[in-house]
Amino acid sequence: MTNTLVSLKNLYGELLREFLQESGIHGMKIFLSTSAIRFAKHLWFIFLSSLIIVTHVIIINLIKEFLDQPTEVRLSTKLVHVANSPFPAVAICGANKISRHKMMSFAEQVFEAQQRFQPDLLATNVSEMAEHLKLLTGFFLYPLDTYTDNDARLDQLHNILTSMYNGSEYPTRDIIFDLSPDCPDIIRSGMVFGKPINITKYFQKRSISVGACCLFNYRRDTYTTNSIRAAFTKANSKLLENVTFESNSLLSSVQFVLHSDSNDFWHTEFASYAFRLYFFLQNDYPTVMTNTLGEILVNRRTLVEIAIQPTFYEASDAIRNFRPELRQCYFKDEGERLLNKSYYSHDECLLICRMQSMQRYCGCVSPFLAPPLINASVCTLLQLPCLSNWLRVFNQWSYFEYVDPPDGFDKCNSCMPTCEGVDYKTYLNYLPLRNKHGNDTYTFGLLEGLTSDEPLALVKLFFKQLYAESTYIDIVGDWVALLSRFGGILSLFYGFSILSYVEIFYFMSGKWFVLIYRAWQLAYIPKERRDSRALEKRAENRVYSLYWNELQPKTVMLERYPKNIKWQNRYDDSY
């Protein structure tokens, strides 16, 4: 056993010396040299090992970065004129969600239905019924609103509305739509490219996730389940004027005056007269819950200039070879297959994902989130507590998460932006409106006939620049480029190459086994035969010229070539 260990140790030393002498890696031959400095080889070994570790850490990080994000975004030289740039859709929403005079009229109808169904079941007069009808606004899914199953008003109002619609499902979406202010109540006047316009030809009242708002430049069909209202909306959409921006100045802008009657306020989300503007793509569903373009708060008595700058982005077909999780985007056909729809956008995917989560949790979907997209049933007042609870759990709202973390839902990580399309950035400039004291009114422009004491604001929409830039998504580099980066790093530090890996593998595998095999042969072949084979091998390997062999003494020749010398002596004796 001891002889075996000694033999292996000798083989290891021989292999190491041969590797250090023949290796192409810089710095290896120093270990075979001698130095007067003590521990010089130890210091050199530490330095060389540190260098090897650092270079391989850099290489591993490069590989991880390439696997995590194999694409890059670079600015292309392509510029798009604003005349060819689509303008985003804009939703203008007032602070007042429900008109007071409309609510009182509807409350009177519901009160009469209650009296026919069961007198004084929920309210004893019209005003009290109007207050109870605010329960319908719970479908807006306000974060701070909470409802419980113990609230008897939900069941009572549900029964009254069901009887009012002859036992069928009551259209919550259409009820809120009818109760909300109309576009002329919110937008008093407008101007497109310096010319006054008819508000009804450019702005359309549509239902979105925060109620009914006035939409500008919207091109999507309605999601209402009411066939009559759907036909009316579709016909009205064809009458809307299309706006094509041909320049990027305030003169080539869309301007409108926002106005609200404080006496007609009935229900607001916040105690404010501020207006809200939401931006989204022309074909997206106008939902606020998944809106990625953001919103703008417009306070009264302000002039807001909103400059919009589009940015186009394209993608190379070469990135299709990578998974969408790596490139972080979907091509159009991939997104359509994901949703099983003919249209895909990031906001649309998030909306469908959250509606599916809501349906799994409550068995229905809020009527303001387009249930027809997933063929889901519409929630009634009886499911309102479940919807409010879903919102808290989905967003993981808890005051004591570190004690009892809530069970989260799928956060829609499968939804990603598109690889090709357009994105928008908004630039705001807030200015105060000039004041008119007392009963003085503005005498010209869009504000003509209005006073500064009223809750109004002036908004201007236009493109920021004449041309829009385009970005291009492409592959950082293929495996050849990645390999060249590795080679540059390795050769820069210590002259390492791909062949060096092969060399190390050879010495650790093939060369090692060859030495072990030779040692085994020497251990088990008889000594006489081993010596004879060694002499024959040396004789075969060494090549001498003819003249050199003739000049050598016979004793040397006899030692190296005994058979030839003996044969020659036989001829000498014959003479």
- Evaluate whether 254 touches 192 at the Cβ level (below 8 Å): yes
Note the pLDDT of residue 21. 65
Note the pLDDT of residue 498. 63
Note the pLDDT of residue 546. 45
Note the pLDDT of residue 492. 66
In the DSSP assignment, the letter for residue 142 is: -
Note the pLDDT of residue 126. 93
Cα of 64 vs its chain's centroid, Å: 19
Buried (b) or exposed (e) across 334-364, using 16+ Cβ within 10 A? ebeebbeeeebbbbbbbbbbbbbbbbebbeb
Q: How far apart are CA 351 and CA 297, in angstroms?
A: 23
Note the pLDDT of residue 247. 83
Buried (b) or exposed (e) across 156-195, using 16+ Cβ within 10 A? bbbbbbbebeeeeebbbbbbbbbbbbebebbbbbbbbbee
497 burial via Cβ count (<10 Å: 0-12, 13-18, 19+)? middle
- Evaluate whether 258 touches 275 at the Cβ level (below 8 Å): yes
Q: How far apart are CA 261 and CA 276, in angstroms?
A: 16
Note the pLDDT of residue 544. 47
Give the pTM: 0.69
Q: How far apart are CA 151 and CA 383, in angstroms?
A: 12
Nearest residue to 280 (alpha-carbon basis) of 347, 210, 212: 347
Please name every residue paired with 216 in a beta bridge, in sequence order, or none if there are none: 90, 203
Ranges of each domain in the chain? 528-575
Q: How far apart are the first and last CA of the chain?
A: 59
Buried (b) or exposed (e) across 505-526, using 16+ Cβ within 10 A? eebeeebeeebeeebeeeeeee
**What residues contact 235, with CB distance under 8 A and at least 6 apart?**
none
Note the pLDDT of residue 400. 40
pLDDT tens, residue order, the chain (575 aa): 455 555 656 666 666 666 666 665 666 666 666 665 667 777 777 877 887 788 878 878 877 777 766 665 565 677 888 888 888 999 999 888 899 999 999 999 999 999 999 999 999 999 999 999 999 988 888 877 788 888 899 999 999 999 999 888 898 888 999 999 999 989 988 998 888 888 888 998 988 888 889 999 888 876 665 666 666 566 666 667 778 888 888 778 899 999 888 888 888 877 777 899 999 888 888 877 667 777 888 988 889 999 999 989 888 887 888 788 878 889 999 999 988 888 898 888 888 888 888 898 899 999 888 888 888 898 999 999 999 888 877 766 544 444 444 444 566 888 888 998 898 999 999 988 877 665 677 777 787 777 777 778 899 999 999 998 888 877 765 566 666 666 677 766 666 666 666 766 666 666 666 666 666 665 655 555 556 655 555 555 554 444 445 555 555 545 555 555 444 444 444 44
